[in-house]
């Protein structure tokens, strides 16, 4: 998506060869107009799918998911990264490793909000090594819901995430695919 690539080039910062900082419009400060355009692009890509629920992982996937939920008129469920003190056996749980934070999270979702009759679109802000996506897949599969699609806002294509997810039998739709962050320069894969 050219608009997103322009935002990344203008406001993004290649911290090192592995880390892209986009806190000016996605991760700290959120640009609502951009979020709506991202949602429209995702809606267009998955227009032939019958989506009944959107699933994301807190925090940065929530904004684009909400805009898409509004457009599709479906609920948005976000997987929590830390179990609550009142967490019971009524939750789906799995362990996820965050590449950026180099930290493990127990990701949870109440069984009240994800069911076997749900047709799910999973959205996340970044894909690096695919751990968050794989964790979400595990929870969606445990709920016996149907995963109809995966949308990633920014994919670091030089890392192994897409390959791991595709090996599980799922395709990935990414709005921007980063080819390299070498020497502080952001380059994209042309599609």
Binding residues for xanthine: 20, 27, 156
* DSSP symbol at 80: B
* Cα-Cα end-to-end distance for the chain: 9
- Using one digit for the tens of pLDDT, what is the confidence trace for 95-139? 888 877 788 888 999 999 999 999 999 999 999 999 999 999 999
Residues within the annotated binding site?
20, 27, 128-132, 156
Residue 35 has pLDDT above 80, yes or no: yes
Ramachandran assignment for 102, one of left (phi > 0), alpha (psi -120 to 50 degrees), beta (any other): left
In the numeric block, which tokens belong to residue 120? 């799910």
Contact 181, 188 (CB under 8 A): no
Q: Is 86 a residue whose pLDDT tops 80?
A: no
What whole-number distance in Å separates Cα of residue 122 and Cα of residue 79? 11
Residue ranges for the known binding site for 5-phospho-alpha-D-ribose 1-diphosphate are 128-132
Each residue's pLDDT tens digit, 45-71:
999 999 999 999 988 899 999 999 999
Residue ranges per domain, the chain?
A: 2-188
Q: What confidence tens digit (pLDDT) does each residue in 145-189 have? A: 999 999 999 999 999 999 999 999 999 999 999 999 999 999 999
pLDDT at 188: 97
Segment 13-23 shows an average pLDDT of 95
Partners of 98 in beta bridges? 103
The pair phi, psi for residue 46, each rounded to 5°, is -105, 25
- The CATH number of 2-188 is 3.40.50.2020
């Amino acid at each position: 998506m050219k608009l997103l690539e322009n935002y990344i080039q203008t406001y993004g910062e290649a911290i090192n060869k592995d880390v892209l900082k986009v806190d000016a419009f996605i991760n700290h400060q959120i640009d609502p107009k951009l979020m709506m355009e991202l949602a429209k692009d995702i809606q267009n890509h998955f227009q032939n799918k019958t989506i009944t629920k959107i699933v994301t992982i807190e925090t940065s996937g929530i904004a684009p998911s909400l805009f898409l939920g509004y457009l599709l008129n479906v609920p948005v469920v976000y997987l929590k990264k830390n179990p609550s003190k009142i967490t019971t056996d009524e939750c789906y749980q799995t362990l996820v490793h965050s590449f950026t934070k180099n930290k493990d999270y127990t990701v949870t979702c109440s069984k009240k909000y994800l069911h076997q009759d749900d047709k799910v679109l999973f959205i996340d802000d970044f894909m690096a090594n695919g751990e968050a996506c794989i964790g979400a897949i595990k929870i969606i599969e445990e709920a016996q819901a149907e995963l109809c699609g995966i949308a990633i806002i920014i994919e670091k294509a030089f890392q192994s995430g897409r390959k791991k997810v595709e090996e599980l039998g799922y395709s990935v739709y990414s709005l921007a695919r980063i080819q390299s962050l070498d020497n502080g320069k952001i380059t994209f894969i042309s599609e």
